[in-house]
Structure 1
Amino acid sequence: MVKLGILDYAQIDEGSSAQEALQHTIELAQLADNLGYERFWMAEHHNVPAFASSSPELIMMRLADATKRIRIGSGGVMIPHYSPYKVAENFRILEAFHPRRIDLGIGNTVGTAIVNRTLNENKKSKLNYEQSIVDLTKYLSDQVYESHRFSGITANPVISTVPQMWVLSTSVRSAKMAAKLGIGYTFGLFPLAGIDKLSIGMQAAQVYRKEFNPSSFMPEPKVSIASFVVVAETNEQAQKYAVALDLWLLGKDNFGHLKEFPSVKTARNYTFTEKEKDIIQANRTRMVVGDIESVAEQLKALITQFKADEVLLIPLMPGLEARKKAIELLAGGVT
């Protein structure tokens, strides 16, 4: 049976605040926990006014404390900005408090130019992406041998379990890396518009499974696919919600134009230009939209194409109640 997870952004809805958004995230994680979801992950975004998810690790500790069995993870830590050693320490502490419930999802998006400069202002250069992930596996499994450039160092606290590690990717190259290191592979259908990603993703999943090396992080290959999902009790209502996501995904001013995630009313009152309509049409390839019967059919087709073990659902929809209903519908309609 395919397992389901949620990727959350701690979005700040119209008329809400950052503090309320973070409380809403706790409610969603608890709901997903009660409904039997496998994972609940937090995204990492900087300098986006409508998202409160700037530090997934800190949110993760609060979510893990507030839930019982669901795995809590990062979707993901943008490792080019950080020391792999410090990331390892953070996740060892999370794993120490909540053994076998922590996921370390890793990405390589550096963000906008100003975000990149601010997070790296004293660095002369960045580590190679694969080297950073290799270092993480070494620190988390106490395998910093003499051949390593930092031999003799330990990521404390030393514990008996390791978090699951996942690479968030849109490429075959990252699939090969994940397979070599024995970690999970999540293919993002949502980051980019266009239809070529399906063929790339299926090739990546095939290569990953073929070349996978078992590890302490993952004994067998696991492929997850991630997509924006807009689902409601009726197709008409889902289409209304989707217009709000359409407006958001225009990403004006590097997602700084909208200070809150738009409501259906705001989206319907917005006058889209012809160019924006073209962007919206392309962006619809990033999402699955409809009532639960339609969405389940679309997701099952993707699961079959990718031979996916898991689906990471991203209900980026306006309003807490809409997101709650989506999580409820998906729990009963996809598996």
Structure 2
Amino acid sequence: MRLGILDQVPLHEGDTIEQTMEATKRLVVEAERLGYDRYWFAEHHNTNGLLSAAPELFLARMGDVTSRIRLGSGGILLPQYHPLKIAETFSTLAAFYPGRIELGIGNSPGGSERTRRALTDGAGNAAADFPRLLDEVDGFLTDRLSSRHPYRIVKTTPRIKEQVPLSVLGLSPRSASLAAERGHGLVFGHFINPDKWEETLQTYRDEFVPVDGRTPNVIVCVFVICAETTSEAEALARTQDAWIQGIRLGHSIVPSFATTENKQWNEEQQRRIQNDRRRTIVGTPDEVAEALQALSDRYQTDQFLLINNAFDQQKRLRSYQLIAERLLR
């Protein structure tokens, strides 16, 4: 099984931003040592607890403290940016770290409408232009813009020879079709909403076009929390349950055990927590391995990005260690 990590760089209650950044660096270095295949950074804006607002800067920093693990974005919020700038940023990263940079692209606004406008300096919503923007990023990276394109003579700097792998983040058949028709990879966000998995992945595989000989490439992203015992894993998971509830209220700092242990949930919140647990694997290393294998069989892929936003940076790191010791040795 090929496992990676998706990191939103969550700030934990009681920690400083500086401590969180240092913990993130330790986790990336340890992930490489443990044999994780890739480490991706998400992009979020205008939050108080998700610190990954500039994934490309995390890639540059973490590339300097690692030597083998692949580093990527999960993902760059394309409608908020200009294709040439994204292409040049990632070609520069690939020049720094050859063979290790991956580009995941999404169609999210990055937050509220006000946040989106701040990111674009008041420009209109370009979500409907996502297919064109995606083609232009790819065209600049590969020097394959149409001969009739108005920017055809503009070349990406630096002009690297390697092709940066490009994947589309998606939850629906529409995203799957977009990725498939262009021969790109697909990252399916089970951790966001797994409901349309069957139709989405079937669409992707049925419609895939083998551009440059590429084959369908599916990565599934899922919440996974692991500990030595089921009860300890459950205690960790409750802090993530509370964090998810906080997200809905605009509060994204991961709450502590002290904050969550006596937390009382109303009936609606309990229903939401139960529903949210469909997105999460919780358990011991053996229980996690069994659940991941079940997802692998369902999704017909051996590639996963694991995300853990439970409390305590050391326990979070230990969770990834336990998973690696069970599945990557």
- The verdict on a shared fold, with TM-score over 0.5 as the criterion, is yes
Structure-2 change in CA distance of 1:26 and 1:183 (3 Å)? same
- Structure 1 position 280, deviation (Å): 0.8
Maintained 8 Å contact 2:40/2:74: yes
Partner of 1:201: 197
Per-residue CA deviations over 1:112-150 (Å, capped at 9, x if unaligned) read 222112112331441611111111110100112322232
Structure-2 change in CA distance of 1:20 and 1:48 (3 Å)? same
Q: Check if 1:283 corresponds to 2:282.
A: no
- Structure 1 position 176, deviation (Å): 1.4
CA distance in 2, matches of 1:122, 1:303: 42
Partner of 2:5: 6
Maintained 8 Å contact 2:254/2:309: no
Aligned-residue CA RMSD (Å): 1.6
Structure-to-structure mapping, 1:102-141, within 5 angstroms: 102-110=101-109, 111-126=111-126, 128-141=129-142
Q: Check if 1:269 corresponds to 2:262.
A: yes
Partner of 1:227: 222
Identity %: 35
**Unaligned ranges ≥5, structure 1:** none
CA distance in 2, matches of 1:236, 1:188: 27
Partner of 2:245: 250
- Structure 1 position 78, deviation (Å): 1.0
- Structure 1 position 254, deviation (Å): 4.5
CA distance in 2, matches of 1:252, 1:308: 30
- Structure 1 position 11, deviation (Å): 1.4
* Count of matched residue pairs: 326
Which SS does the other structure have where 1:251 is aligned?
helix
Maintained 8 Å contact 1:228/1:286: yes
Per-residue CA deviations over 1:12-33 (Å, capped at 9, x if unaligned) read 1122111221111111111110
Maintained 8 Å contact 1:112/1:254: no
User: Aligned to 2:316, which of 317, 323, 331?
Assistant: 323
Moved more, 34-43 or 264-273: 264-273
Give the structure-2-normalised TM-score: 0.94
Give the structure-1-normalised TM-score: 0.93
CA distance in 2, matches of 1:181, 1:60: 25
Per-residue CA deviations over 1:211-270 (Å, capped at 9, x if unaligned) read 222335x822111111111111110001001110111111356433x5x31112211132
